[in-house]
Structure 1
């Protein structure tokens, strides 16, 4: 039996095997909605939580076994390692800008600038190129190329 489910103004057609949607069907609907969303949109939505310092909500957009590779520096495997990294390096929420976003299939490439505050209070400015890989609407992997900018006050 096909039914139409209304959720926040959106209608999703689905097949129901019972008299009313239960929580598992609602979860399936949410997953289907997120999967239809473009990966670049998902990434930018997730990064809004980083900008606000809400790292747990950001991590909700990652797979449990997400892998982050900072080329030439470190590899983080799993949400717990990413959480620990954010706690250590994001003394304050990072300030970043996006210059370019390119989406192709399950990959999203983003370039821009990011500023991080160090534990000693100094700020460090970087250029970055991130390649994000998605699985079922979740961040599965990051390959980050990050280059610190030279300071002009020498």
Structure 2
């Protein structure tokens, strides 16, 4: 089951990278819950749709470093770059912990922090 969930998440995220957010949303449950720790909670596909329209001025660029799947959970660690409305690109480190239900993305707890320049 966990290898399948990993493949489902990779396939879904490929649509995000292409800017096809509607196709990505077909991989989510209707009552999906996205928790951005310390920032906000999105409940349902419409809230996620609005978030993507607001935050993804251009498709985000992901650099996945590690993916770990176990049972109904898939954890992804990596970097993400997002362009803002001013045209500036912002870089973040992230860890997403996804929970699946019936083969779909049901919940995510996202830990996102601004990347530090070393």
If the length of structure 2 is used for normalisation, what is the TM-score?
A: 0.96
Q: Could you tell me which residue of structure 2 aligns to residue 127 of structure 1?
A: 93
Q: Could you tell me which residue of structure 1 aligns to residue 15 of structure 2?
A: 49
SS, match of residue 38 in structure 1: helix
Alpha-carbon contact 1:53-1:92 (below 8 Å) kept: yes
Alpha-carbon contact 1:95-1:116 (below 8 Å) kept: yes
Alpha-carbon contact 1:109-1:132 (below 8 Å) kept: yes
Which portions of structure 1, spanning 4 or more consecutive aligned residues, are displaced by more than 6 angstroms?
Answer: none
Q: Which has the higher contact order (CA 8 A, sep 6+)?
A: 2
Choose 1 or 2 for highest CA Rg: 1
1:104 aligned onto 2:73? no
Alpha-carbon contact 2:2-2:69 (below 8 Å) kept: no
Pick from 70, 74, 79: which aligns with 1:113?
79
Residues 86-116 of structure 1, C-alpha deviation per residue, up to 9 Å, x if partnerless? 0000000000111001001000000000000
How far apart are 1:36 and its partner, in Å?
9.2
Cα distance in 2 between the residues matched to 1:37 and 1:125: 29
Instruction: Note the aligned Cα RMSD (angstroms).
Output: 1.5
Pick from 49, 58, 63: which aligns with 2:29?
63
Where does the alignment leave 5 or more consecutive residues of structure 2 unmatched? none
Residues 50-93 of structure 1, C-alpha deviation per residue, up to 9 Å, x if partnerless? 00000000000000000000000000000000000000000000
If the length of structure 1 is used for normalisation, what is the TM-score?
A: 0.74
Number of equivalences: 118
